[in-house]
C-alpha cells in the first residue's frame, strides 16, 4: 500500500471558489471554479492513486456554475430594472398622450371646450 497522501488541493480550491461565486463574488470566482473543477476532476479520475477530490471538484463545478448563472440573471435584472420588462417591453404613455389620443378618436369630447 502506498503511504503517500493523495493531493486534493485543486479540488478544495475549486470548491472554495464555487462557494464564493454563489455568495456574490461573481464571475471572478465562478469561471475559475468551473475550470479548476474540470482539471481537478480529470486528474482524480485518471490517476486516483495520486489525486483525490473527485466529489469536491464536482461540488465546485456545480456551485461555480450556479454562481455564474446567478450573476448573469442579476445583471440582466439590474440593467433592465425588471427581467420581464426586458423580455416584453411595454410602451409607456404619459397622461397627456392618453388624453390627446382620446380627443383625436372621440371629437365629441372637445365640445365642452367650445371647439364645435
Compute the radius of gyration of the chain from its Cα atoms.
29
Q: Residue 68's pLDDT is what?
A: 87
24 inside domain: yes
What pLDDT, on a 0 to 100 scale, did the predictor assign at position 24? 79
Which residue range is the domain that position 64 belongs to?
A: 1-83
Residue 27 has pLDDT above 90, yes or no: no
Does a structural domain hold residue 41?
yes
Assess whether pLDDT exceeds 60 at residue 37: yes
Closest CA relative to residue 66, chosen from 36, 28, 21: 21
Q: Cα dist. 33→4, 79, 107, 113 in Å?
A: 27, 25, 66, 70
Look at the pTM and tell me if it is higher than 0.75.
no
- List of residues 6+ apart from 73 with CB closer than 8 A: 83
Residue 19 has pLDDT above 50, yes or no: yes
Query: What's the confidence (pLDDT) of residue 65?
Result: 92
* Domain contains 96: no
Residue 6 in any domain: the answer is: yes
Number of compact structural domains in the chain: 1
* pLDDT tens for each residue of 40-88: 999 999 998 888 889 999 999 999 999 988 877 776 677 665 545 455 4
Amino acid at each position: 500500500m502506498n503511504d503517500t497522501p493523495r493531493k486534493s488541493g485543486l479540488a478544495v480550491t475549486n470548491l472554495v471558489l464555487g462557494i464564493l461565486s454563489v455568495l456574490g463574488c461573481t464571475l471572478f470566482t465562478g469561471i475559475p471554479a468551473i475550470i479548476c473543477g474540470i482539471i481537478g476532476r480529470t486528474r482524480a479520475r485518471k490517476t486516483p492513486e495520486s489525486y483525490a477530490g473527485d466529489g469536491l471538484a464536482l461540488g465546485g463545478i456545480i456551485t461555480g456554475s450556479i454562481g455564474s448563472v446567478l450573476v448573469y440573471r442579476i445583471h440582466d435584472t439590474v440593467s433592465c430594472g425588471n427581467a420581464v420588462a426586458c423580455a416584453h417591453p411595454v410602451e409607456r404613455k404619459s397622461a397627456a398622450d392618453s388624453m390627446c389620443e382620446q380627443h383625436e378618436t372621440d371629437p365629441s369630447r372637445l365640445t365642452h371646450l367650445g371647439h364645435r
